Structures are given as structure tokens and as C-alpha cells.
Structure 1
């Protein structure tokens, strides 16, 4: 915040589904305004009028407005205040703050009650003390893109949740298929087309266990569209897994088949929706941050969707002073554990930043490392450094390396080239 603090009004708003409670302070901490309004358009108009009256009556030239990011309930009031033409004369800076940050700041006040007016006061005081490190509200243009990129993550999480739920039914029907070691599995992907056909088209395990190898090979070739390099070996592994699995009472097979088929249908439907969202994202990104977008998609492995997901959360790279600030905003930082001569080798990722930005950076890093030798070498170097949690650790550190590259390209308006990888700090 570059405003003149002595001439600034600091507004804190405690947001709920039905009401907004407001408290306004000057730089000396004097309460200049307290009010409660409905969380609707007329209520927002009354809040705006009160803020303008307070600014004029106290001869203040700037306004900082801070709200807790309370689910989606803070979206309308934040967008209303940040885009109002009359308030623009006071250079408004609107911030949606992490509730965890405000909860921690509240601890500095000894023996304070928990009420909506006091919550608003604490938010205003947090802004007054210059403690805000997050980025200001960026308006409807980025909100439109965010709605798409964040909804895409919602769909991805829904697929993951459905797959997790589905495992219990798959285990009941075909227990060995879910617990075999990688080398002994007939299919690399339990949720693939051939695996789906096995789980839904064979009523019971006896149909697999006592089928001829020739018939199973023909089935696998047909469902796998002749993509299996060793269909005989796959058929033998499948038959062995069926013979080693638990048997169920016959009355259970049909209900399990119906449940498993239903889960596959849900997953397919969600995957279709993701494809539609991807198309919408590509259409929406074309009018936003053209230069920054071209910089990101120039990186091998980053396409329109990952680039949009990153830009929707970053907004303008000028909001970040360094790649460390960008990494902190994404939650790609690690806490130190040290006492005396002891320093912990394993530390947890903070994950206190923007979870959407973190998701798209990690997914982008996973894609980039498969297409860029520099990132691939770095990933395997980190993978081999530890015996436990190898992939998660290596991918997280590779994501942190990608942050440096992204920050360097966006701040310098550069297109990616091999000679630049690893040099942008």
C-alpha cells in the first residue's frame, strides 16, 4: 500500500450471508464510523454513502477496505466497492483477507469478546497497522476467469473424490485389483477403459478365473483397442488376480456392478464437463493479459488452461516484489524447525497461501518436467535425495523452481527459451 497513511481511512468489514458490519479508523486508531447493513445492493449503497461522508467530514484522501474472505459472501461487496466510480477518486484498495490471518492477529488483543462489531474493528486495525501482505481485489474481469479456473479445480476434486469412494466397491468385488504391487497389476490405470470393462461386463470373478486365456486375450485386445504390448501377459495377470481374490455371495455381485458402473458414469460426465470448461477458459483468456499469457504458454508443458489458472490468481505480476513473495502467496514455502544445534530435515509446506494458484503451479510443474530436460533433471535429483515421500517432495520443489521461471518471464516480458531455464532468479 503506497497511500499516505495519515490521510487514509481504514475500513474493516465483517461479512456474513445476511449482513455486513463495518468499522472505520483513522491512522491514530480513532473510531470514525460504525454501522451494520444488509448484505445486498441497497445495503452496499448505504455503506458506500457512509464511507464517502466519513472521508469528506474528516478530510481524508485515501481509503483502504479490508474484508474477511468468507466463502463467496464477500464477493459482491468487494466488487461493488472496488469498482464504484465515485469512490475511485479516493484510490480505494480493497482486500479480501485470509480468516486465519485475522484470527491470529486477534490473539494480540487480550480478553476481547467475540462479536461482529469487534471483528470489524480488528480487521480495520489490521489494515491500519500495515499488516496486509495479500494482493488487492482485481475486479470483474479476473473474477470471470477465476470462476472458470476454480470451477475446473472443483470438478477435478469431484473426480478424485468419486474415485476414492469407488475403491471400496472395487475392493469388495475384485479385492486383488486394488492391492497388487505395480509389477503384478494387469492394468496400470484401475479407472481406464479396459479395467472398466472388466469390472462392469464380467458379473463375477468366476467368469474371469475360469475363462480361457484365448477369450481373455481377445477381450483385452478389443477393449484396449490393441494398445497392450503384451496382451497374453496381461490376461494371465488378470486371471491370477481373479483367482486370488475373495469370493462374495452371489447376491452381492449385481448391486456392486451397478454401483461401480454408476461411479464410472459419474467420472465420465465430470470429464466431459472439464473439457467444456477448458474450451470456455481458452475463450475467456484471449482478452486478458495478452503479453503475460504468451510468456506462460511459451513454456513447454504449459497450455491455455494452466496459464489461465496461474494468471487468474496472480493478476498483475507487479503486485509481487520478488519470486519469494509469489511463492509465499501460493503457499509454496516451508517452515523451519530449529532449536539450538538441532535442525529438522523434514519440514511441512505451509499451504497457507492461495490454494488455487498452488494447484495450477504444481500441475504445470508436473507437465513442464515431462517436457523440459532442465526441469526433468532437477525433479529426479530431488526425487533421489530422500527415501520417503519422493514424488511429492520432488514435485513441490520443482514447482518452486517453476515459480522463479514464471516470475522472471512475467516481470521481463520474455518468451521462454532453453538458455533461460534455471537462470531466472
Structure 2
């Protein structure tokens, strides 16, 4: 928790837009020292820094600067980063806070009948800081964390692109090879229908009849070549593939070529995205190794958590001291369940809130999905929750496992200790101390 002497602090509120930054600066006694507008570019930021410096030099009783601004898409990043590293302001220990707009919106309700203008918004943000509302907020962490966050968030973007492309191509898959998509378990010839071998079968055979008419030796040789001899029982795969082809619907000849072109395009997109994810993973690991924070080492000590998942979690959490409990961290990630009760009725089918940090929720989910394969306690918990319902089994079980994983992450980071395999019952005591 940052300790600031509010009596000797200049509070600067900035209302950010794409073209301009409207600024209001005051002291603890609400004496207004600055009320102006600057362009949201480098010259405008330099002019603002000079005016803040002149204000500090003119009032010897002020020795600290607190700058508060709303997190407005990417428009607030440059000004926040500039002021946090500005050499002119360094002697006055500037603290920069990018606020969630919901926080200032709730604060505005205390001003009854207040108009909404850019100057008044800047005043409101400055007053928000003056009243000490930034105490529970995390200050701007600098360019390294910003760089890491851009990489981890871009990775999620690429993962979503793959998921979206797979969803899009489902209809084309069904039209081309109706039975293949519906098979499960031992009846499915491929472990991954979007893998290289499946892709080759779906795009290089123009029609299903070509698969059926292929000799056993030709098909076995084709599957061995495309799978790089990684299929354990290639004869069984060949049999299942021919059976699926015989059981599938036939199409008019005019349909096959357009479908092949569409499927080939989708497979190319997926492969490209997968290659880009590998490059991003390398960049993430390089970036986090340059920072090498203690929290990163702690997270990596958890079995199943590698550099990418640890980096994604760390980039979104920041300083764990910003959260007073694991419940607060779970709420920030959107891993809370909305109640749906009325009178004597208590709903057992409650949906996840998701009104939190999407990126943190994604990395906690991926991390817990990996951890359950390495830590028996989490695997058993996942299986138990999976078996409790018949609908949305994986999603529900993974969300609940992620909530359990949050307690582990919070406990280790707060205690500043590596994972040892011991059950962290004490982590619950942290919240009450």
C-alpha cells in the first residue's frame, strides 16, 4: 500500500480523449492551481509537464504529485507512460493512476445535479484522488509491464481467432464429410479433427468416393506420410476413415471443389495463427525473463504453470497487495456466480458473472486446466464437479477449478513462497488477519 502525505500533494485529474487532455489540479484544501486543455500528443504532454512543474515550484508546501485519469482504451496509455517517466517531475515522486471508469462514475453520484462536461470530469477525477480513493488502486507500472500485457493480450486475441475459425468451418466440415464430425471416442479416426492428418484428408481428397476407392496400401501410405508415422494403429485408422466415408452423405460434384477451397483456406488460417502463437509465446518468455519478478518465479513453481500462463496471470494481477482477499481477486477476474433466488426458491444453476477482467479470467482458466493434469487434488476436484451435472460439464468444472486455483495463486503470492505441495489451508487465514 502506497503511503502519501495528502496535505503536501498536488492532485491532478485528467479527462482523456483521442485529441485532447482536459486537466484540473488542486491541493488537499481544494485550492485549484490548474484548469486547462492540452493536445493528446507529445508536445501537449510536454506542455502539461512544464505547467505541473511550475505549479510545484510556485508552492513550496507541495512535494508530491498524484495524477489520476480514467483508463480510456489506448488513449490514456501514452500520457500515463510519459508522466510516469518524465524527468522534469521525478523530484516530486509522481504517482500515476489509471482508474476504472466505473469507480469515478460511482463517485460522481455523490455530486447531486452535477453537469457532465470535460472540465468538470477532470475536476471530479482530481477530487477522487484528493479524497484518497486511489489508495486501493495500483499505480502505473511502467513500460515493461505494458509491453508484457500487450503480448499476453495479443496471445488471447490469436487464440480467439483460432476458436472463431474452427467454429466457422464446422458447417463446411459437415457438408464435406458429415459422419467424420459426429464420431466420438474409438469410432473417430483422428485424435484432432483440425490436425495435419485430418486437414490433408479433407483437402487433398476431392470427394469421399476417392477415399472409398483408394486401395488399402495407398491409404495406409498416405496416412503414414501425412501423420509422419505418429499414428499408433494406422490400419485401424484407415478402416475407421473408410467406414466414415461410406456412412457420410454424398454431394453433387459441383459442391466439392468450392468446399475444398473453403476448408483449405480455414486450415491455412488456423495453421498461421498457431505459428504466430508460438512466436508470441517466445516473445512473452523473453519479455518476462528481462523483468524476472519474484512473483513470476512463485507462479512457475506450481506444477503445470509455465512461463506463458504465469506471465498472463502476472500481467493482469500486477501487485497482489492491491487485493485484500482471494475473493476480491476472483471478483476482479469475473469468477463469481450471480444469485437467482426468489422467495423459497434457490437456483442451483447460476451463471458466472464475467463482469471482470476477461484476460485474467482466460489465463486463470488455462492455468487451472493445466494444473489439474499435474496436481491430483485439482484433477479430482475437476472430475467431481464434472460428474455433478449433465449440461456444460467441462465449462462448469473448469470455472469452479479456476476459482479454487485463485485461492492457491493468492495464497502463494501473499505469503511470497514457492509451491511445495502442501495444502494451503493457511491462505484462508490471510484474509481474516
* TM superposition score normalised by structure 1: 0.88
- Return the alpha-carbon distance in structure 2 between the equivalents of residues 32 and 22 of structure 1: 10
In the alignment, which residue of structure 2 is the partner of 1:84?
Answer: 86
In the alignment, which residue of structure 2 is the partner of 1:47?
Answer: 48
In the alignment, which residue of structure 1 is the partner of 2:431?
Answer: none
* Equivalent residue for 1:156, pick from 152, 156, 159: 159
- Return the alpha-carbon distance in structure 2 between the equivalents of residues 213 and 126 of structure 1: 75
**SS of the residue 1:190 aligns to:** coil
- Return the alpha-carbon distance in structure 1 between the equivalents of residues 218 and 378 of structure 2: 44
* Equivalent residue for 1:358, pick from 361, 366, 383: 361
Shift, 1:102, TM fit: 4.2
Are residues 1:403 and 2:406 paired? yes
> What are the residue-to-residue correspondences of 1:79-228 with 2, within 5 Å?
79-103=81-105, 105-106=107-108, 114-132=116-134, 133-181=136-184, 184-212=187-215, 215-228=218-231
- Return the alpha-carbon distance in structure 2 between the equivalents of residues 68 and 358 of structure 1: 22
**SS of the residue 2:291 aligns to:** coil
1:63-98 CA-partner distances (Å, limit 9, x unpaired): 332222222221111111122244344443322223
The answer as to whether partners of 2:196 and 2:227 remain within 8 angstroms in 1 is yes
Which consecutive unaligned segments of at least 5 residues does structure 2 have?
A: 429-433
In the alignment, which residue of structure 1 is the partner of 2:73?
Answer: 71
The answer as to whether partners of 1:11 and 1:23 remain within 8 angstroms in 2 is yes
The answer as to whether partners of 1:134 and 1:329 remain within 8 angstroms in 2 is no
In the alignment, which residue of structure 2 is the partner of 1:19?
Answer: 20
Shift, 1:34, TM fit: 2.4
Over 3 Å counting, the alpha-carbon distance change for 1:196 and 1:81 in structure 2 is same
In the alignment, which residue of structure 1 is the partner of 2:338?
Answer: 335
- Return the alpha-carbon distance in structure 1 between the equivalents of residues 343 and 9 of structure 2: 44
- Return the alpha-carbon distance in structure 2 between the equivalents of residues 37 and 424 of structure 1: 47
- Return the alpha-carbon distance in structure 2 between the equivalents of residues 110 and 174 of structure 1: 64
In the alignment, which residue of structure 2 is the partner of 1:37?
Answer: 38
In the alignment, which residue of structure 1 is the partner of 2:387?
Answer: 384
The answer as to whether partners of 2:16 and 2:22 remain within 8 angstroms in 1 is yes
Shift, 1:328, TM fit: 2.9
- Return the alpha-carbon distance in structure 2 between the equivalents of residues 193 and 32 of structure 1: 65
* TM superposition score normalised by structure 2: 0.86
Q: Which stretch of structure 1 is more off in the superposition, 118-127 or 289-298?
A: 118-127
Over 3 Å counting, the alpha-carbon distance change for 1:247 and 1:300 in structure 2 is same
Tell me the number of residue pairs that the alignment of Structure 1 and Structure 2 aligns.
425
- Return the alpha-carbon distance in structure 2 between the equivalents of residues 56 and 344 of structure 1: 61
1:138-197 CA-partner distances (Å, limit 9, x unpaired): 011212222322222222222222222232332332233334455543323221111101
Over 3 Å counting, the alpha-carbon distance change for 1:7 and 1:253 in structure 2 is same
The answer as to whether partners of 1:374 and 1:421 remain within 8 angstroms in 2 is no
Shift, 1:295, TM fit: 1.7
The answer as to whether partners of 2:12 and 2:126 remain within 8 angstroms in 1 is yes
Over 3 Å counting, the alpha-carbon distance change for 1:130 and 1:385 in structure 2 is farther
- Return the alpha-carbon distance in structure 2 between the equivalents of residues 83 and 375 of structure 1: 43
Q: Which stretch of structure 1 is more off in the superposition, 103-112 or 163-172?
A: 103-112
- Return the alpha-carbon distance in structure 1 between the equivalents of residues 237 and 196 of structure 2: 14
In the alignment, which residue of structure 2 is the partner of 1:260?
Answer: 263
Cα-Cα RMSD:
2.9
Shift, 1:251, TM fit: 2.8
1:207-238 CA-partner distances (Å, limit 9, x unpaired): 12444455444433433344434444433433
In the alignment, which residue of structure 2 is the partner of 1:10?
Answer: 11
Are residues 1:242 and 2:253 paired? no
The answer as to whether partners of 1:405 and 1:422 remain within 8 angstroms in 2 is no
- Return the alpha-carbon distance in structure 2 between the equivalents of residues 271 and 10 of structure 1: 47
The answer as to whether partners of 2:49 and 2:88 remain within 8 angstroms in 1 is no
Moved over 6 A (4+): none
- Return the alpha-carbon distance in structure 1 between the equivalents of residues 257 and 106 of structure 2: 53
Shift, 1:306, TM fit: 1.5
In the alignment, which residue of structure 2 is the partner of 1:393?
Answer: 396
Over 3 Å counting, the alpha-carbon distance change for 1:290 and 1:139 in structure 2 is closer
